[in-house]
A and B are shown apart, each in its own frame.
Chain A
Amino acid sequence: MKLTTILLALTLSFFLASCGDSPDGGGPEAVDTQFFGVTGYRVGPYGPSGAPIASGYIDYLRLLNERDGGINGVPVSWEECETEYNTAKGLECYERLKTRNKNGPTAIHPMSTGITYGLIDKAPIDKIPLITLGYGRTDASDGRVFPWVFPLMTNYWSQASAIVRFIAQKEGGLSKLNGRKIVLLYHDSAYGKEPHGILEKESENLGFSLVKIPVPHPGNEQQSQWMRIKKEQPDWVILWGWGVMSGTSIKTAKKIGFPREKMVGNWWSGAEVDTLAAGPSASTGYYAASMNLSGDHFAVVKEIRKYVYETGKGDDESYIGTVLWNRGVVQAMLTAEAVRLAQTKYGATSMTGAQVRWGIENLELTQSKLDSLGFGDMVPPIKVSCENHEGPGLVRFQQWDGVKWVAASDWIVGDKQLVRTMVEESAANYAREKNLTPACLDR
């Protein structure tokens, strides 16, 4: 037999074998299930960051089924769609997932700012809430203009402001920032430019000088940027990176001898994939913001180990407890709790997108509720409202100790008033542009 024929036969067999795998969780066709459409990216350039988030999300859904039989007796089902962090593929996934199940997807986590922008106008028409935890449009925090979009927890501007306060803590107080120099090393994209406005305001208000240095995509070579940093001699560097850029920044900082203890990454530059890429020892001392703590000591993580992994249904055990896997678990928990809350109003059956939207907008997770869910201090207490789709706006800082992330601060809040003013201004501009009348739904 010719080699090409053998290869063709092997490929076909592999393809057919792959088609035989069915999604767990009952599949989207199961009767009266709460269906979760999972858009994520496990392959491609950003796969190392996307895979743990998707795994954490699905592992929590598995836990709900295995431990509780679903949400208030309604089994959970899901379907995962691979976006490769590509906007066109993400939109295609959304169109596919919205037709699944009688109610469509519970809520969509687009997992990309580009995909979020592409869905903002579609979501109100399809009545599918978008949850954009740590990405997307910052001004969507104003729920009167963006009733279907929920940044939840915190947004980019709150994060940037909290980073400034963290640096101030390290310097001995806000007043000590006067006369200091901070470099913002950012991914040269819309995402990287997101904190410019807030940091410029903070710089004016607090008296530090801000130097913005862009890194062209993908950022796998940063010699010249770090030479500029060396020339500027900043007191601190804020790293606003993504993908290979973050690890390369840390590595190049080591290469030129810049102390990692004077670097603070944002939450997309603060995962194990970033510090491991740079080399565990090169990253020692590096700080990063986070909206959730890492670690496998939380009760919910132990439950997932017990009900999901010990029964052989887990995704990838090596992800457990990492920053991004925990974030996926948090995303699933917030969505599931919104469903649970909606059920108290609409009845214990599967919820539609509009009903879940109400659930998210009225979500309140106190510390005792978080404790009962097994999350402890992995995330701060959360209260959402129509006006405030952001929630608490709190950020916590972690430091890489050479092996793992350890908490380096309590929950820190930025300049809330400044952030809120900027959010409302931006949202009002959007409303004018789109001819929208800001209003609260369901009121």
Chain B
Amino acid sequence: MSFFLEVLIGGLLAGIMYSLVALGFVLIYKASGVFNFAQGAMVFFAALTFVGAQEKLGLPIWAAFPFSLALMILLGVLTEKVVLRPLVNQPPISLFMVTIGLTFFVEGLAQLFWGTKVYPLELGIPDEPIVTTFENWGISLAGVPIVLQEINSFDLIAAFVAGILVAILAIFFQITRVGRALRAVADDHQAALSVGIPLKTIWAIVWSVAGFVALIAGLMWGARNGVQFALTFVALKALPVLILGGFDSVLGAIVGGLIIGALEKLAEVYIGPFFGGGIEIWFAYVAALLFLLIRPEGLFGDKQIDRV
């Protein structure tokens, strides 16, 4: 039982790391209806800028963060000006295609600026197993004390960071004037423009906020795996989370991450050996697709009702 719980909790915590990436997708989709294929590249760009600023420009860690954030905001503003503005009112597929092009550009730009080396990233967060026993609280299963060895300090802090991010984003979207404008723009570009919402400003803001989320995700994933090109692949982990949680729900990104993380880890450990192992990636997609059949808009996504 302890082992099952360890796998489950490990999966939930891994899922939180996926949610960090998924949040960036959600933000842009929520505000512009665009599936931003470049989100993984933005995570890579942000993390590489953070370590590159320290390695190549000699900035201290406290200065590297605002520097990276400033560059991400600049990237967001430029994306709006150069890439998105000419495509206002174009079909969503055009906007999606342009983000594919943006992916390669951002990946190339990051390597051009900061090189292709692997950088270790130490944030000072301990990454050790924490042995947790429930014995002291008198919790046991059939008289056997439950001891969890797989709860990891880094994962717990990542979960805490994700929680704070979600709280900030929820407040931003629900309470602030800009947040409400973002939601209006997401519903209908033209209608939003007609009531005086500055579409260009809103898009620049949302891409900048997505840049901030990419920076946080990049730092957490970079601290786990080192900062390297492979950070772009973390987007693959976020896709089933988005399918399950809904493309336009911040809460969905978190809950979807938890479910996908837990499901894929349990599947790999308990079902994987019957298939020769290595099933977790496709299993996550299969689980998400099955869920899609039941609820196409995802767990928390807005239901689309079109008049015909």
A binding-site residues for B, Cβ under 8 Å? 3-4, 7, 42-48, 51, 188, 212-216, 218, 220-221, 223-225, 227-228, 230-231, 243-244, 247-248, 251, 254-257, 273, 276-280, 282, 318
Residues of A within 8 A of B54 (CB): none
**CB nearest neighbor in B for A51:** B116
Cβ of A254 and Cβ of B127 under 8 Å apart? yes
CB of B234 within 8 Å of the partner chain: yes
Q: Which residues of A contact B128 (CB under 8 A)?
A: 254-255, 257
The dominant DSSP class at the B interface is helix
**A282: B residues at CB distance < 8 A:** 127
Top 4 closest A-B pairs, CB basis?
A277-B226, A244-B230, A214-B278, A224-B268
| 6 extra A-B contacts, CB within 8 A, seeds A43-B108, A231-B3, A276-B119 | A48-B117, A48-B118, A220-B231, A224-B10, A247-B226, A276-B226
Q: Is B120 an interface residue (CB 8 A)?
A: yes
Question: In whole angstroms, what is the CA distance A3 to B119 when docked?
Answer: 33
Contact of B225 among A51, A220, A225, A257 (CB under 8 A): A220
Instruction: Collect the chain B residues with CB atoms within 8 Å of residue A277's CB.
Output: 118, 120, 225-226, 228
For the complex, what is the distance from the CA of A29 to the CA of B281, rounded to whole Å? 49
**Nearest chain A CB to B77 CB, angstrom units:** 10
Whether the Cβ atoms of B281 and A276 lie closer than 8 Å is: no
| B7→A224 contact, CB < 8 A | yes
Residue on A with the closest CB to B150?
Answer: A256
> Which chain A positions have C-beta within 8 A of B221?
220
B118 touching A251, Cβ below 8 Å? no
CB of B161 to closest CB in A, whole Å: 17
CB <8 Å contact, A220 and B120 = no
Is the contact region of chain A dominated by helix, strand, or loop, or is it mixed? helix
Q: Which residue of chain A has its CB nearest to the CB of B224? A: A251
CB B130 to nearest CB in A, in angstroms, measures 10
Q: Are A227 and B229 in contact (CB under 8 A)?
A: no
Taken residue by residue from 214 to 248, chain B's Cβ proximity to chain A (1 for < 8 Å, 0 otherwise) reads as 00000001001110111111100100000000000
Q: Are B82 and A257 in contact (CB under 8 A)?
A: no
B12 CB to nearest A CB, Å: 10
B129 within 8 A of A: yes
CB-CB under 8 A for A223 and B278, given A48-B117, A255-B129: no
Q: Are B10 and A227 in contact, with the CB atoms below 8 A?
A: yes
CB–CB A218/B230 < 8 A: yes
Closest chain B CB from A253 CB (angstroms): 11
Q: Of the candidates B6, B14, B229, B264, which one forms a contact with A47 in the assembled complex, judged by CB atoms under 8 Å apart?
A: B229
B residues in contact with A216, CB < 8 Å: 278-282
List residues of chain A with CB within 8 A of the CB of B268.
224-225, 228
A212 to B277: give the CA distance in the assembly, Å: 9
Q: Which of B14, B111, B122, B149 contacts A279 (CB 8 A)?
A: B122
B window 260-280: CB within 8 A of A? 264-265, 268-269, 272-273, 276-280
By the criterion CB–CB under 8 Å, are B120 and A223 in contact?
no
Report yes or no: A257 in contact with B269, Cβ–Cβ below 8 A.
no
